[in-house]
Amino acid sequence: MRALLQRVLEAKVIVEGKTTGEIGHGILVFLGLGKEDTLDTGKKLIDKILKYRFFDDEQGKMGWNVSQAGGGILLVSQFTLMAQTQKGLRPDFGPAMPPSEA
């Protein structure tokens, strides 16, 4: 499992011209699931994302989590994060979880 987190002022996902998800300020999470990932590893990642201090507190330090900052979370499935690129010039997506399971 690999996650790429980005703090955003707003984010939205549009599929075939229709908005399928959107948030105001918060965290945009691109998530790649691997064949070996389990529900338990997913729960641990979610817990970490929810507790991650990503936002400025009253002192201007990154001391608040997304809930304390009043933000949202937008999760986007991104199998390309699981690509193996160490060999050759073509990414190998073999480690990614099949879409029907993800």
Positions marked catalytic: 80
Torsion of CA 89, 33, 19, 53, to 10 degrees: -110
- Tell me the DSSP string of 16-50: TTEEEEEESSEEEEEEE-BTT--HHHHHHHHHHHH
